[in-house]
Every structure is written in structure tokens, then in C-alpha cells.
Amino acid sequence: MSTLILIRHGQSIYNLENRFTGSLDVDLTALGKQESELAAQKIMNFKFDFAYTSTLKRAKESLQIILTTIHQNNIKIIANQALNERNYGSLQGLNKAETIAKCGFKQVEIWRRSYNIRPPEGESLEDTYNRTISFYKLEIESKLKSNKTILIVAHGNSLRALVMYLENISQEEICNLNIPTGVPKKYIFDENLKILEVRYL
């Protein structure tokens, strides 16, 4: 059996300010750091072989807090932009409420929640899925088949894409899926990567 733990980074400054963050590199808030510490408490009993994260500092800092808290700073960390948050294009940095007031709720929801519609100059969830899952298949699946225990700390949309792949969620259903910040999700697989258990910790 192998184990995979997914954690969305703790609250960022732009999460707090209700802004589209996307590929912008923003810091964690004090609450975000606390969320990372609390996430670590829930996975204290796992011994990880590898840890993966994005190239954005809110995810990297969350991972560092987690590994320090669980005393596993010596494991190999792989940071790759394939795990970065979805690029929201010209929406990045804008306040979500102000954008709704300007463009309408229905249009903003289409940009945010649909699977294959891109926001202006940005990525769709489908684009994010393609890069995230390509990396997962190339880099991580073989390790899970070798019974490794792996931690991934990334972002709401890159993790939505990964959950969509792992749990065979449809394009329609994925629109309603949210990944909470700082809450570990555990997968246990058999030798063929069939899911034996999945739950939030």
C-alpha cells in the first residue's frame, strides 16, 4: 500500500483580501501560518519519502512550516510549476466582489468554476488539469506504485485537478468542488493505485 497526502496552502494575503491570486506570488497571513501548523499536527504520524510543492512562496512556505513541525526537514522536496495555481490572467489581483459588480455574478462564476472556459488571458481548469496531471503521472505515480508515502502541498485549482483525476470526477461535478485551506486529505492505494481509502483528516 502507498499513501498520498494533499494539503492546500494556508490562507494567503490575497485570500484574506478576497482577490484573484492565481500565479501572483503572495505571502501567507498569520492565520495561514497557523493553518499550516494545524495541518502538520494532523499528519504527525506519517513518515514521508518525498514532498512536492509549487514554485509559489505561499505553498513552499506552508510546506516548510509543515515539515518543520513534524520534524521531517531532511526529506527530498521537489518544487515544480506544474503544481502552481491556475493563472487567472487579467483578473489577477482584482477584488472578486468588485469584479462581480463590474462583470456580473454569472460571468465571474463561469470564469471561476467552469472546466474549459478561460478567464481573459488566463488558464481554464482544463489547462491546469493537463499540466498538473501530466507531471503527476510522470513524477509521482511510479513512486506510489513503489509503496512510497508522499506529501503534496499546492493550491486550490491544481489540487482540484488532481482530485478530479484520482477520484474520476466529471467536468460537471468538479465545478462544485472546493478544497479547504490547511486540511490534509489522505489517500491510501493498493499496488495498482486503486483507492482503498480517501478522507479528510
Set 9, 61, 123, 155: catalytic member: 9
Alpha-carbon gap, residue 55 to 67, rounded angstroms:
17
What is residue 140's DSSP assignment?
I
Q: Is the dihedral of CA 20, 26, 31, 35 positive or negative?
A: positive
Burial class (CB within 10 angstroms; exposed 0-12, middle 13-18, buried 19+) of 103: middle
The question of whether 71 is a catalytic residue gets the answer: no
Catalytic annotation present for 85:
yes
Distance between CA atoms of 21 and 26, rounded to whole angstroms? 8
Q: Residues 35, 61, 85, 123: which is the catalytic one?
A: 85
Any idea which residues carry the catalytic annotation? 9, 85
